[in-house]
Amino acid sequence: MNSIQVPSRDKLILGIMGGIGVISLIAIFMNDDEHHTRFWTNFLHNSVFFTLMALMAIFFLCVSRVALAGWNVGFKRVWEAMSQFLIVGFVLMAIIALGVFFNWHHLYHWADESAVKTDVILTGKSGFLNKYFYTFVGLGILGSWVFFARRMRSLSIDEDSHGDNHFKHYKKMKFWAGIFLPIAGFSSAAAIWLWVMSVDAHWYSTMFAWYCSASCFVSMIALTILLLIYLKNRGYYHNVNAEHFHDLGKFMFAFSIFWTYLWFSQYMLIWYGNVGEETVYFQTRIKEYPILFYGNLVINFVLPFLILMRNDNKRKYGTLILVSVIVFLGHWLDIFQMIKPGALHTAHEVSQHVMPNATPAAHQVIEAGVAHADAHGHVDAAHFKSGFTIPGLPELGLMLGFLALFIATTLHFLSKAALVPKKDPFIHESLHHHV
């Protein structure tokens, strides 16, 4: 099948979504505190979310290569194209890293050198949590992901022109996939620790990287379903049938349960251990962000579990679209609640350090107006506004902008190669995929 041609109407819609994102970003910047806490947390939130989704696309593709899976070969170009967003993600995370290096923002408490000197915990973590490690090692990890994503895609496309009966290209892809998987497994954990977990610099969890990865993986599956349904409605991917969607639905169902297992295991172990430096993470979210905390479970577990538990719902386009949208938005909220409370606490600490002689009102999160904080930087749940306690319209608008950028990048790369790999050894298995 030839590459796609995106209709002008769809390009216009993506352009409008992108415009909404730009306007939202400007609105957040213009109505922010003097350190632009809300701006930078939203930028970090969306950059991490969509970059990790691109990583999950190439990760699952490599898992399929190593496992000799053939059911998804017919639409694997979608994952290859999604993984190319890592190039954009590298630029986005480079901006965040430069911000750490040159003090453009205050996302991370450990980036304040004067605070580290007076904090035993931050001093103990300074070998890992420092601007040099964040910038050079963090971007080096992301650069390695870009290399493997481009390598796997180039081999796949080259196979269409120079493939033979000796599985030459397939063996090469399997070789590179085998190298990438352990690298991705270890490096993704380090990147998540740096980018997300270190926002709460005094807290740690050995399960956090798994938990965050599962969240982004199921989001990637949800977006894959939505993209495939869109492409089928535009006359492409006739080879993708109800059984392919059934399998994708099973992955979304299974990994929603897996995400819940990780959520519960992390919570249960920390609750049972009852160590103050660990429980503070959940205490903050339960008491001060109850909508995010409990809504997270309802949206990301209860709803997809109850809807997808019925087997034939995994084959119905309408149901899959509904659940995919719920799951995608739910896990976007999941990353939101991972970042916002810790960043709000850091903002309060910065205000105390930078403006020690300011009035008490000035210390309410540096006059951000996003929440009311006590002397410990904790939010009063009785006084909240959109942006930190819950996402506001600008946050939703910015998410639409990033989503448009992700989809536009995916469609761009889909248009540069045939949608269906013609000479993949498993293509016939995928084209005749039945129960």
Q: What is the DSSP string of 283-317?
A: HHHHHH-HHHHHHHHIIIIIHHHHHHTSGGGGT-H
Structure tokens at 206: 């050995």
pLDDT given at position 352: 64
pLDDT digits 0-9 by tens, 126-142 = 999 999 999 999 999 99
For residue 384, list its beta bridge partners. Answer: 371
391 and 336 in contact (C-beta within 8 Å)?
yes
Q: What is the pTM of this model?
A: 0.92
pLDDT given at position 363: 43
DSSP H/E element including 372:
strand 371-373
72 and 244 in contact (C-beta within 8 Å)?
yes
**Residue among 34, 386, 51, 395 nearest 194 (CA):** 51
Reported residue count of the chain is 435
Residue 103 has a CB neighbour count (10 Å cut-off) of 11
pLDDT given at position 167: 79
The span from the CA of 335 to the CA of 338, in Å, is 5
Q: Where are the beta strands (DSSP E) in 199-255?
A: none
pLDDT given at position 276: 83
The pair phi, psi for residue 371, each rounded to 5°, is -170, 170
The pair phi, psi for residue 379, each rounded to 5°, is -90, 135
Q: Which amino acid is at 19?
A: G
Q: Which residues of the chain have pLDDT under 50?
A: 355-383
Structure tokens at 112: 């304040």
pLDDT given at position 174: 93
Q: Which amino acid is at 44?
A: L
The span from the CA of 12 to the CA of 208, in Å, is 39
pLDDT digits 0-9 by tens, 351-403 = 665 544 444 433 444 444 344 444 444 444 444 556 888 899 999 999 999 99
Residue located via tokens 């998987």: 181
The span from the CA of 20 to the CA of 83, in Å, is 24
